[in-house]
Chain A
Amino acid sequence: MLRYVLRRLAWAIPTLIFVTFLVYIALRIGTDPVASYKRINPRATKAKIAQYIEVNGLDPNYVRGYFRWLGNFVTLDWPRSIKGSREVWPQLKDALANTIRLGVAASSVGIVIGLGLGVFAALRPGGRRDVAVNTAAFVGISIPPYVSAILFQLLFAVYWSRWFGSTLFPTSGVYPPGQLGFDLGLMLKHMVLPTFVVAIQIIAVYSRYMRSSLLDVLNSEYMRTARSKGISEARVLFRHGLRNALIPVVTIAALDVGAIVGGLIITENVFSYPGMGKYFLSAFGEGDFPLLMPWMVIIVASTLFFNLLADISYAWLDPRIRLA
């Protein structure tokens, strides 16, 4: 097991480098960093432009340029944004923190409720609860996150205040404008709507996975053996049913993180929540190469990380895989 993990980790570094190289190429072709710089700083001197090119590794030769960029990146010598020469890391750090908070909140709520609903539905397949959960999940999948985000905004911001006079849940930002310092209550209040919107997607997807996986397991022979042992029904369900049903769900879950992040990006934008999503969209819109590359590295690294996590947990949970 340990060897398997180490082997995968060893592969991770070259993969990371290779993928960021591809990203580097895509961004250079797609966003034309030099032209963007010139657009934002129309009065930049030739010297400044040359410095920008060198610091960001924008050599005409892509390979050499990439390694120059990589060198700067790894030594933490990060070039500044094209806008007003602001530092990248403080912005990125805040965006990352906000997104992680939102992601963790939405995932916890979503996964727990989603799995619970899936179990709920699978215990009586074809029954009314099953149909209800399935349909709800279906609708949840079919509504793109920004649609539900907009509808929630409409409901809670516009109409709630029209009917009740004040807004129940704020619909933008992390704090109300002008807030200084840390306030947990206000932060949580601002997080409610975006969390809910992202959680809807998660609940819809996970309830369906869990339901189908649990149904498969409940029809297995070893469930009958478990019952014939005379152990309690609860134990049969948890130790035998759920334990086996979770295996495929966990593997899909780890791979699905990308989709959750995608939903986060969209939701953040609608709610003006200053997270990774907003960071990316504004940086991308401006063609701000120095802002974009570190962001990409984080995304690539976390994607690879979750892929690895998926493989490891699959092997850990299912002993049949371990020896392969």
Chain B
Amino acid sequence: MNQFVTLLVGGVLLGAIYALVALGFVTIFRATGVFNFAQGSVLLLGAYVIGRLHDSIGFWPAAGAGIIVAALASLLIDALLIRRIRRADLGTLAILTLGVDILLLTELTRRIGTDVVSIGAPWGSDVVELAGIRVPASRVIAGGVALVLVAALAVAVKVTDWGVAMRSAAEDGETASLMGIRLNRVAAGAWALAGAFAAVAGLFLTSFPAAGVTAGVGIVALAAIPAVVLGGFDSPEGSVVGGLVIGVVSVLCAGYQDELSFLGRGIGTVAPFVVMLLVLLVRPSGLFGTREVTRV
């Protein structure tokens, strides 16, 4: 029983990190209608910058730098590339981001090579004990940070001018611009935000119990895709639910690896995709997605 609860808590905390990544995808999709395959490499970029800088300038400044660099990179992808063909269909835009992802990922994995770069977090490999369960401190902090960020985003979207502009643009871009809303600024904000979220998620994904920043981290973001699809592309609530579901599923499957050995080794990585396929069979637009947003 204790094992189950430990795994469950671990899964929820990991899910919180996935939710951050998924929220990045969803914010971009809502604001500009693009499925951004490059989220994964931006995540790796953020983690890489933190990993390389923390020795020289300290962890917190490095974290700030990583977040800013990731936000900037994400913004530039929109400003320099997507903006040119904003009116193209979904499929073309998605493949364009795939091209960017290839470029960025290749460069980063080349630089990292076979190294394992430590992220240098001050909480290191500390473990805390909550009600009899032992959980890595980094995961607890990750959960807390994710919660704060998700709540802050929800409030911002609801309350601020930018949020109103973004929701208007998400619903009807043309009418929004007729009202004087500058679509390019809305897009810039969304992409930058997604980049920042990716960097934060990257920081926690490469902290304990992970070894550090490795070439494989970029593929980890692919694991967030089931979370986005599950929840529905244009639903922030969906991405949170999706992230949590995927986190719990992968940790439970990995944890009960032995009992589930008849399904094969490494079930933890493939289970999220199976869950995604099953959900799509029943709800073709994800759990909370609206049905129209599928025209490729």
Chain A partners chain B: no
Interface residues of B, Cβ cutoff 8 Å to A: none
Interface residues of A, Cβ cutoff 8 Å to B: none
